[in-house]
Amino acid sequence: MSNPCECCQIKLKFLRQINGNFMHSLVIPEWFVNQFGGKIWGTVRLETSDGNMYDVGVTESMNRTILKSGWATFVDTNQIEENYSLMFRYLGNARFEVTIFDSNGKEKAWCCSG
């Protein structure tokens, strides 16, 4: 299978349910990594619906691609808990929009007044 063109890559999304030891790292799905020739950037930027951005380091371990350094800050700041789900939408240039859903499947709302 050939890698998709850039405009198709930008439409890529993946969903991860948060469970187990999620505080310090998150595995990126293998099928997603394969869309980029088997390699993901050294650092990605995660953007949440409240407009905040987080730089998170990407590492490889045991043939898995993992969000690692900076991930704990992202989890803590966004009060992500076990059984939450995160939808990652690729925006291009190593950037992802992350939508957070609670354990009931409700999108986490951000108050515009801070």
Among 52, 32, 48, 50, residue whose Cα is nearest residue 40: 32
Domain range holding 43? Answer: 6-101
Is the residue at 109 inside a domain? no
Q: Range with the lowest mean pLDDT among 5-9, 10-14, 64-68, 96-100?
A: 5-9
- Residue 76 belongs to a domain with what CATH number? 2.40.330.10
Among 30, 66, 50, 57, residue whose Cα is nearest residue 109: 50
Mean pLDDT over all residues of the chain? 88
pTM listed for this prediction = 0.86
Contact 63, 77 (CB under 8 A): no
Distance separating the N- and C-terminal Cα atoms of the chain: 46
Q: How many domains does the chain have?
A: 1
Over the stretch 29-80, which tens digit does the pLDDT of each residue have?
999 999 888 888 899 999 998 899 999 999 999 999 999 999 999 999 999 9
